[in-house]
Chain A
Amino acid sequence: MDSDEASELERARKGDRDAFGLLVRRHQRRVYSAALHILGNHSDADDVTQETFVRAYKGLANFDGRADLFTWLYRITVNTALNALRSDKRGAALEKKSGTEAEHIGGRPESLGQITATPAQVAQQSADVARVLTAISQLSATLRVTLVLATVEDLPHKQIAEILEIPEGTVAWRVNEARRLLRQKLAGEPAVEAKQPAASGGK
């Protein structure tokens, strides 16, 4: 945490919303990207990003500063996104919903399950990207989040374990399981999610 960020944080804690605005501007891209990678569409990612910053502002008093501010924001983002996934069961319904939603919003490719888009839009993406996005959207919420954090965000397992509040071993298992399932899906094989280790738990 650099001195500018520390100063902004201190001022934001005292109720300076301009200072908090600066903090938002500083971290918004990474927060939004994480939300987008987990949720797969801009609309939900936008909701989660805004909610993350609102929650952060309300919880600034609880942030003791021992951890990195972004790690703290990241944890809020992941939890908010997981809640959104679980409540909406977007993972299961994404394919059905996304095509219709894409049509409503003008056919813009915004969702992971974009395979039902128009041929022109599909042409803009490579076939591999569409297949990968679809396969990821079919993973369970926990596997998807863990895979995104490990592969896309490139976070070390230890940090992922802190964010998700699970053992590191569980992180490794989830990453491997997600990769195994993705390979099966991409190969066109029926993929069945394996049982999670008993010691895992967490989010």
Chain B
Amino acid sequence: MSDDLDDMIRHAMKTLDDEAPSGYFEGLPNVTLARLEDGTRMDSTGTHDTAPTPLVAPHMLMSDTNEKNREEDSGLHDIRNLAAASKSRISARRSTQSPVVTEDDVLASSSAGWKGIALPEPAKMISLPELASLPSAVAIEKADKASRAEAKAAAKAAKRESSAVIATATDSAVSAPMIGSRVAAKQSSGKGGLYAGVGVLLAAAAGVGIYMYTQKGGTAPAAAVQQVAKVETTPAPVLKEVKAPIVAPIVEEPKVEAPAVVAPVDEKVDEKKAVAPAKAEKVHKVEIRDTIHTDEVKPAAKVEKKDEPKEKGDGSEPSFDALLKEGGISDTKQAAKPTLEKKSLTTGDFKTGMAAVSGRAQGCYAGTQGTANVKLTIASDGSVSKASVTGPFAGTPVAACVEGAVKAAKFPAWDGGPQSFSYAYLLAE
């Protein structure tokens, strides 16, 4: 049987051999040498890159004994050349349509692809301020120290001023604007509010002490009242608080103001009542005045708070945080804060994941060996979102089996967009 088959094969091939164009071999050396001369190249598929060497050439070089045959075939040669040229073009096109793509190329392109997707739009639009326009770290530190020192000096000066007002009422008219300027200077510092609060407390304590002293001595000059009244008009809340006890000895004014504001003040002055119940009426008067001051101070304090950001904004050197906020960086950072350390799937991760399902994929072998090329897309959570088999198995049950196996693969999650890979399984028993 084997010999019969071999004979049949040889006979068939002999038939093919007999069909070689007559005169072909006479012209083949010349055609080959012409190709060497022309430098005409053929690609690895055996087809021409450029215009193919006309098949007519060997036949044109036929011997005269085949003249009749050549005349019969001459019309066919043009058609044959056309067919060969078409075939060559198709082959060349096919070879250029399927460039060799390495795994690294796939990874690089997929990585670039997901980077393009993953970058949030706001991040692309961030425009940081020019570095040259920003203050240096040393300058910021110096400015900070200077403002602290200034605030301390202002606090000390305020204390000194307050004591000066108490000691010499005649000088208060001059000192008031100075105090105002000091306070304004204090407000210019970042911690002015804090120092102001501390100053108020200290001044209140001092005022209570002075009040107690004046109640005992009763020697406060009447002119001081007018001076204090002038001081009250100034926007400096600390000094108003300080002056409050000084006005206490005045007897005329409480009669007008007392009914409106006594009730709420009583609760606040409970402790003072407990300390000096015998002087409750006077205390009331004092507290009335004090309350008035408080009412005046409260809006001033509010204004002061409102002014803080303005002063910061008007300052010569804006803070770096403010600049970052203007640029939207702080918000963007919070929004785009990565949740995973892994930024992309590495080749090692990919191969490990694919190797885990290789047994299942290779189990899809169904009698026909070959390579199943799988193109898959892996989502950032590590799951396979898409898998498709290309090549000879495409569209077959084997392909569906392999795709199912690949979709079961798991990979480590990463922070980014999906990535695409290609992988090949050799299907064999």
Contacts and interface: CB of A to CB of B under 8 A. Distances in A.
Interface of A: 17, 20-22, 24-25, 28-29, 32-33, 36-37, 40, 42-44, 46-51, 53-54, 57, 80-81, 83-84, 87-88, 101, 104-106, 108-110, 112, 125, 128-129, 132-133, 136, 147-148, 151-152, 179, 182-183, 186, 192-193, 195-196, 198
Nearest to B45: A87
B36 interface: yes
Given A17-B36, A50-B42, A57-B36, A133 B12 contact: yes
Interface residues of B, number: 52
Given A43-B55, A195-B429, A50 B35 contact: yes
A105 B86 CA distance: 12
A105 B44 contact: no
B17 interface: yes
Interface stretch (B23-31, B185-193, B372-380): B23-31
Given A21-B30, A87-B45, A192-B367, A54 B35 contact: yes
Interface string B18-55: 01110011001111110111000110111110001101
Contacts of A198: 428
B339 to A, nearest CB: 46
B83 A136 contact: no
A12 to B, nearest CB: 11
Interface of B: 1-2, 5-6, 8-13, 15-17, 19-21, 24-25, 28-33, 35-37, 41-42, 44-48, 52-53, 55, 76, 79-80, 82-84, 87, 91, 94-95, 367-369, 428-429
Given A21-B33, A50-B42, A105-B83, 10 more contacts: A25-B29, A28-B28, A36-B16, A43-B83, A43-B84, A88-B94, A109-B19, A125-B15, A132-B8, A196-B369
The majority secondary structure among interface residues of chain B is helix
A133 B17 CA distance: 13
A23 B10 CA distance: 27
A23 to B, nearest CB: 9
B32 A183 contact: no
A133 B29 CA distance: 29
Nearest to A33: B17
A84 B46 contact: yes
A85 to B, nearest CB: 9
The majority secondary structure among interface residues of chain A is helix
Given A84-B45, A152-B10, A21 B32 contact: yes
Contact of A106 (B17, B79, B95): B79
B69 to A, nearest CB: 12
A104 B82 contact: yes
Given A48-B46, A88-B91, A108-B19, A37 B13 contact: yes
Contacts of B21: 42
Contacts of A44: 46
A50 B28 contact: yes
Contacts of A57: 32, 36
A96 B94 CA distance: 18
A128 to B, nearest CB: 6
A105 B46 contact: no
A148 B8 CA distance: 12
Closest 4 CB pairs of A and B: A84-B46, A87-B45, A106-B76, A132-B12
A29 B13 CA distance: 14
